[in-house]
């Protein structure tokens, strides 16, 4: 297919990846799809999530004629990459926590992974830590409330500094900690708030640039023009349209995947 590279997330988190891809590949055609009707993903059960992610991504790829799919969501990638690759014929690029660069960046060897509950507990994540940070102390901290804070920020609402402070509090119990992996694509959208809540300078490491490099390696030729700036969402709203417009995307179209809504 010759359409844009489609960036997918549960919500606005993928926009942090859009920004990183545009920094490295300013001319590339990008589309955006998100499943904001079912946000957040990070607290939902795995079996439901896999079916939902396959449904939404298949529908969005068909609607956009995407030439590649970037799963700009750690929660989805650490669970459903293989299943997505098995059912799509275009390249699928995932997002996983940047444990390896964080281990290289840390002087003390004390790191933390800040991510959703789902990502923090996944076997995939445990293997990443064993493989790439086996000689480091790695604290795993679930920070699901930061997802809603990032959504609020992009909707033009204030971020609650108390929520940010509570989410980060476990990190400061290790005085040697010097590096934090932002293992959820929503979190780089709160970079300023995270830095100002930290009691000392910290290396904050996300996966954005690594994904952009991977896109440049895997997608050839890079799509230009056709379908650039189109967007799809599962729950259209003015606030989301405004957030997407801030990153150059058109008013999103509604996407109706087959899976029924999640019943808590």
Neighbours of 127 (CB within 10 A): 12
For CA atoms 23, 195, 11, 151, the dihedral sign is negative
Residue 239: CB minimum distance to ligand DGL, A: 16
Catalytic residues: 73, 184
Please name every residue paired with 260 in a beta bridge, in sequence order, or none if there are none: none
* CB closer to ligand DGL out of 11 and 31: 11
* CB closer to ligand DGL out of 61 and 184: 184
Neighbours of 256 (CB within 10 A): 10
Our measurement of the distance from residue 1's CA atom to the centroid of its chain's CA atoms, rounded to an integer in Å, reads 24
Quote the CA–CA distance of 220 and 64 in Å, as a whole number: 18
Residue 228: CB minimum distance to ligand DGL, A: 23
* CB closer to ligand DGL out of 75 and 106: 75
* CB closer to ligand DGL out of 114 and 171: 114
Q: Are strands 5-9 and 68-71 parallel, antiparallel or unpaired?
A: parallel
Residue 110: CB minimum distance to ligand DGL, A: 23
* CB closer to ligand DGL out of 64 and 116: 116
Footprint of ligand DGL (CB under 6 A): 9-11, 13, 39-42, 73-75, 116, 119, 147, 184-186
CB hemisphere CA count around 76 (13 angstroms)? 34
Residue 35: CB minimum distance to ligand DGL, A: 8
Residue 104: CB minimum distance to ligand DGL, A: 22
CB crowding 161-183: b at 16 or more within 10 Å, else e: eebbeebbebbeeeeebbbbbbb
Q: How many helices (H) and strands (E) does the chain have?
A: 11, 10
């Amino acid at each position: 297919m010759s359409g844009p590279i489609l960036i997918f997330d549960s919500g606005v988190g993928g926009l942090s990846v859009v920004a990183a891809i545009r920094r490295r590949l300013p001319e590339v055609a990008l589309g955006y799809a998100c499943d904001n009707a079912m946000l957040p993903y990070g607290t939902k059960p795995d079996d439901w999530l896999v079916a939902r992610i396959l449904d939404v991504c298949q529908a969005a790829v068909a609607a956009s004629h995407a030439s590649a799919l970037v799963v700009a969501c750690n929660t989805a990638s650490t669970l459903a990459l293989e299943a997505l690759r098995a059912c799509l014929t275009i390249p699928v690029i995932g997002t996983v926590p940047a444990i390896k660069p964080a281990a290289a960046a840390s002087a003390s060897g004390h790191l933390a992974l800040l991510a959703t509950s789902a990502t923090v507990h996944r076997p995939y994540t445990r293997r990443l830590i064993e493989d790439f940070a086996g000689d480091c102390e790695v604290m795993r901290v679930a920070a699901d409330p930061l997802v809603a804070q990032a959504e609020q920020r992009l909707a033009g609402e204030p971020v609650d500094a108390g929520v940010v402070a509570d989410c980060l509090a476990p990190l400061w119990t290790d005085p040697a900690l010097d590096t934090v992996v932002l293992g959820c694509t929503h979190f780089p959208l709160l970079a300023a708030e995270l830095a100002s809540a930290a009691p000392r300078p910290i290396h904050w490491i996300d996966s954005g640039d690594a994904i952009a490099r991977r896109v440049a390696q895997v997608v050839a030729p890079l799509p230009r023009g056709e379908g650039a700036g189109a967007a799809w969402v599962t729950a259209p709203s003015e606030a989301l349209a405004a957030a997407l417009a801030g990153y150059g995307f058109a008013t999103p179209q509604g996407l109706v995947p087959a899976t029924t809504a999640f019943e808590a």
